[in-house]
Structure 1
Amino acid sequence: MAKSSANGMAKSSADDPISNLAVRRAIAATRGEKVSRTVARLVARTIADDRLQPGAALPSEQEMANNFGVGRASVREGLRLLEAQGLVTMRQGVGGGPSVAEPTGAAFGDTMSMYLQVNDIRLYEVVEAVIEMEGLAAALAADKVARGEIEDPEELEALEPHTDDITSNREFIETSVGFHDHLRQLAGNYILALMGSALAHLFSDRAIGAHPSDWNDRERTVFADAHAQIGRAIRAGDAATARQLAMDHMRDAVSMTLGDNPTVLQDRVDWK
């Protein structure tokens, strides 16, 4: 079966890892491993090797079963493993089937929370990690500016706070989250960006309810000023200042988020 790769080029079945004879050999060579896990691993490898983008359709369960030389039940279980990890989406109905999912920090954080729960990890440990990672991301971004590795002015302009037109609590939160997501992207380290986003999601998902009401004008101003200072330090290539400002801002953000409910930090990070 021919299919298109990420660059739109058609691929023959002989070149396609999902239908290549080498896949059958890989299945046979890993009989000590559960077949469904082998299927999941090979599908994940195909997504990476072919650089398939979110939304790209994968072969149907039956096609995979035929190409792999395994039962459809093993394919289905393998796809469910990938779906649980946030790597594959199973679409229902006409035109449905497996497709590549959008990798997000939220999905990664949900998976991570299972491990944190069984190890009895408390929210304050998540906060400590978030503060350190945010500082590191800001420092790395500033270093890249200092070395001339960030040349697109629009990437740096995105660090400017745009809060004048914000009228709702939701817009304020989305703008703040967007600032930090962009900051982590500028750091140029995908692992740091993914981990930072995942941990920030774990905290906000569990602590945002502790905030007594909508963010008031004073709180919004504090956030906007902090973002502006961090942005200036990064644009100046001052890694030490950017790191300290980012860490201080995260501490203040946690304090304002929790308000009069700091005991939330002692809560266990349960899987939701």
Structure 2
Amino acid sequence: MQPKVDDSRKAKRALTLAQDIVRDIEAGAHVAGDRLAREDEMLARYDVARATLREALRFLELQGVIHLQLGRGGGPVVARPQTGDFANSLSLILHFMEADLRGLLELREAIAADVAAYAAQRATTGDLSALADCLKELERNEASSQFEELNRRFHDMLGWASGNPLFGLLTSALHMLTREFSLSLGYSAQERAVQLRFLRRVLEAVRKGDAEGARQAMARLVAGSASYLAQRSPELVSQKVRWGQT
């Protein structure tokens, strides 16, 4: 039984070391692309075994905090964790929770209206311009295979325009998790027209700074979309989230 205890202690030490490295990255004001110290220097600095250091670095690489360059002059290089890193970790947790598409749709429905309201209060001129451009592209592609992807892009932009990066992160991650589901179904021509009509209302309310108008329009849009998916393909919304679908 002793090896199991030792393995547990090693894993805990590697995690603690990973946290120390992150704190040092922050304290050193390192940015993406900066090289960290070589392995021998890190071993001396943190006073750990080589295996512990490598396990900590592998953990940080999986989280998108660093990437490991191979070859001469290689080693850990600071990276910037992306939405996909978060979505991937979240999908693994949801996999074991037996979460399904219906649960993701309900979560989206719970936050989307408030996200739109915050965007109406906080969107910048740049946000509004990008949203308007995306909506125009959506209108041009109403009948094309690009509609669903552009639709998700609009909602992602709205999430980041809320002024709260947590909303942006969660909105984008939810779209990554539901992407494969929605691609297998798609929207009918009638539903696409409905989506566009409400997106125009949302954008107009956001432009005017009308938080309540944006909230109401988005609430109707996401509720209608969830109802459409549930009625058209009830078996699809019952499908489980599986790690690796993002």
Same fold (TM over 0.5): yes
Unpaired runs of at least 5, structure 2: 1-8
Distance verdict in 2 for CA 1:99–1:153, change over 3 Å: same
Change in CA separation of 1:174 and 1:58 when aligned onto 2, cut-off 3 Å: farther
- Distance in 2 (CA, whole Å) between partners of 1:87 and 1:196 is 21
* Closer/same/farther in 2, CA of residues 222 and 63 from structure 1, 3 Å limit: farther
TM-superposition CA deviations, 1:133-179 (whole Å, max 9, x none): 221211111233xxxxx5x4232122211225549534x44432332
How many residues are treated as equivalent by the alignment?
A: 232
Query: Unpaired segments of 5 or more residues in structure 1?
Result: 1-30, 145-149
The equivalent of 2:14 in structure 1 is 36
Judging by fraction of residues, say which structure has more helix.
Answer: 2
State the SS of the aligned residue for 2:68: strand
Q: Is the 8 A contact 1:83 1:89 kept in 2?
A: yes
1:32, 1:75 → 2: CA distance?
10
2:236 matched residue in structure 1 = 264
Contact 1:140 1:239 in 2 (8 A): yes
Aligned CA-pair RMSD: 2.9
How has the CA–CA distance of structure 1 residues 253 and 79 changed in structure 2, closer, same or farther, with 3 Å as cutoff? farther
Given the alignment, which residue of 171, 175, 194 partners 1:200? Answer: 175
2-side partners of 1:107 and 1:188: how far apart?
Answer: 21
Q: What SS class does the counterpart of residue 34 from structure 1 fall into?
A: helix
Tell whether 2:185 aligns with 1:211. yes
Q: Displacement, 1:110?
A: 1.3
Percent identical pairs in the alignment equals 31
Shift of 1:242: 0.9
- The 3-state SS of whatever aligns with 1:162 is helix
Q: Distance in 1 between matches of 2:62 and 2:169?
A: 17
Amino acid across the alignment from 1:199: L
Partner of 1:228: 200
- TM-aligned CA distance change 1:33 to 1:72, over 3 Å: closer
Check whether the contact 2:155–2:171 (CA below 8 A) recurs between aligned residues. Answer: no
Is the CA contact (8 Å cut-off) linking 1:113 and 1:269 kept in structure 2?
Answer: yes
Paired residue type of 1:225: R
Match of 1:90, SS state, is: strand
CA deviations over 1:2-53 (Å, ceiling 9, x no partner) = xxxxxxxxxxxxxxxxxxxxxxxxxxxxx99822112210222233444543
1:181 equivalent in alignment to 2:156: yes
Task: Tell me if the contact between 1:123 and 1:269 (Cα under 8 Å) persists in the aligned partners.
Answer: yes
Query: 1:222-255, CA deviations, whole angstroms, 9 ceiling, x for partnerless residues?
Result: 4433322111111112212212222332344456
For the 8 Å contact 1:159–1:227, the answer to whether it is kept is no
Give, in whole Å, the separation in 2 of the partners of 1:253 and 1:87.
36
2:40 is aligned with 1:62:
yes
